[in-house]
Amino acid sequence: MADNLQILCAPSGFEGRRKGGHEMKRVFYRTAHFLKLFTFIQLLSAPLQAATPDKINASYGAISGSMAPIWVAKEARLFDKQGLDLNLVYIPGGPRSIMSLIGGSVQFVNHSGMPALEAYVYPKRM
């Protein structure tokens, strides 16, 4: 009676066998070993990638205390600790700094938000 119940409740082709459990374990362990190997390779290549710092140009728009955070970080070598070779460039005026950002001369701009908003609202002026 129990065999008939097992056959009726089991999906077709299953017929009471439990082969799938061992196959799933094997797939799980293979996937886990692959992920371990991938992580190990990534960890080995990380020091090679960190050896060459990225060159970044950043602009600031005023010679005043409002630009102190970026100068303090540069002088304290905080960018070097993160693997960045930062070059600070003084660009007076918001529209010029936004144009240099759009043109790709600098990657970061340390200005007020107004020049960026004006460039968004009036794109043909830039």
**Model confidence at 17: pLDDT above 60:** no
pLDDT digits (tens, 9 = 90+) for 24-72: 788 888 888 878 877 877 777 766 555 566 788 999 888 888 888 888 9
pLDDT higher than threshold 90 for residue 76 = yes
Burial label for 73, CB within 10 Å (0-12, 13-18, 19+), is middle
Contact between 122 and 114 (Cβ < 8 Å): no
Q: For residue 30, list its beta bridge partners.
A: none
